[in-house]
Structure 1
Amino acid sequence: MSVRSRKTLITALALTGGLTLAAVTPALAGTAASHTPRAAAVSGAQGDPRNVTQHVADFYGAYIDAVWATDDRSAGDAAKALRAFYLSAATQKKVAAFEKKEHADGILFAQNVPVKWSVAYTGSGAGHATSRVTLTWSDGKHPEVSRIDVQSDLKTRKITDLKPVR
């Protein structure tokens, strides 16, 4: 079996395991700063693998889950596998360069992990779609938020660029 085939298989297994776990585990709406789970009523969830904005939402949801799980040894490998699956090769290099220079996560543009996230479609053209990711960093009446514009290729659905919104 070639190295590429093995990497693809490992990535697929990691993603399948994570998705399976998500499907059989009660939904967690969020956690307090102490990483204590809070259960919340969820009326349901759905998705469409053909939808580019949904693809971005799937990535950010799984990625944040992986980097939040600091007590799980497999979380780092899961985050790497998610990057390999969802980001184009050029974007992976750009993220790595940002991280080396800024000493911060190049997906979240921060050194910590948000407590909530949301993704919205903002437009498309020239074979790409743009989604805006809103990251919420605290709870309360006036939570701190940041935003990232994420560009995706409409054909491959791979994330091709990430830019913090200033």
Structure 2
Amino acid sequence: MNSKPSAARRPGRRAAVATALALAVGLGVSAQVSAQASVAAPVRTATAAPRPVTGTQGQAVTRVADFYGAYIDARGDYTDPDATLATALRAHYLTPEFAARLAAWENANGADGVLRAQNVPTRWTVSDNGAVGNGHEVVVTLTFGSGGTARTTKLFVLLERYDRVIDIKTTSSR
């Protein structure tokens, strides 16, 4: 729970995150990219090439990437983490049955079940692992730390055919 007085919070940032979440959830990644384009972009150096981010509405990999990106942003803002947004993302992307199992796992392990960790990763990648039964498996590789002390964790995220997360494991369902 955040104990900061409301004057110390950044309402403009929260509104921007809420708007981006609404766009990502309601209109897909293409609308999210358009919305992000309207925000002042950081100045690029002459040596840095722009790095594109693409997605396709209804694609399992895009859906999981949207979820993990927004979730890590909500949890990882060390000066002002947004627990309300993290909870809303979980409610939107996880099935109720899995959310209940995940809460039990978190109580037993003392860690965030979506990240399978007590802290927030510094980097992540998302890749397709193919169809599994009536669902789809996506691999999320989380990197914690940097340099020589960095460690990675691979998570296998299983989506039902209606694109909601039904399981997150450290081993593949394949």
TM over 0.5: yes
Alpha-carbon distance, 1:125 to partner = 3.1
The alignment-based identity, stated in percent, is 35
- The alpha-carbon distance between structure 1 residues 25 and 109, as it changes in their structure 2 partners (threshold 3 A), is farther
Alpha-carbon distance, 1:111 to partner = 0.4
User: Aligned partners of 2:21, 2:78: CA distance in 1, in Å?
Assistant: 18
- The alpha-carbon distance between structure 1 residues 153 and 41, as it changes in their structure 2 partners (threshold 3 A), is same
Kindly tell me the number of residue pairs found equivalent between the two proteins: 141
Alpha-carbon distance, 1:68 to partner = 0.3
Summarize the alignment of residues 2-21 of structure 1 with structure 2, pairs less than 5 Å apart: 15-16=21-22
> Equivalent residue for 2:6?
none
State whether residues 14 and 81 of structure 1, in contact with CA within 8 Å, keep that contact through their aligned partners in structure 2.
no
More strand by share: 1
Q: What residue ranges of structure 2 are gaps of 5+ in the alignment? A: 1-17, 25-31, 43-47
Alpha-carbon distance, 1:123 to partner = 1.7
State whether residues 146 and 165 of structure 1, in contact with CA within 8 Å, keep that contact through their aligned partners in structure 2.
no
State whether residues 21 and 70 of structure 2, in contact with CA within 8 Å, keep that contact through their aligned partners in structure 1.
no
SS at match of 1:104: coil
User: Aligned partners of 1:142, 1:42: CA distance in 2, in Å?
Assistant: 28
TM value normalised by structure 2: 0.71
Q: What's the Cα RMSD here?
A: 2.6
Higher relative contact order (CA 8 A, sep 6+): 1
> Equivalent residue for 2:144?
137
User: Aligned partners of 1:97, 1:21: CA distance in 2, in Å?
Assistant: 37
Alpha-carbon distance, 1:13 to partner = 6.0
Q: Match for 1:128 among 135, 152, 158? A: 135
Alpha-carbon distance, 1:50 to partner = 1.0
> Partner letter of residue 70 of structure 1?
Y
Alpha-carbon distance, 1:97 to partner = 0.6
> Equivalent residue for 1:88?
95
> Partner letter of residue 68 of structure 2?
Y
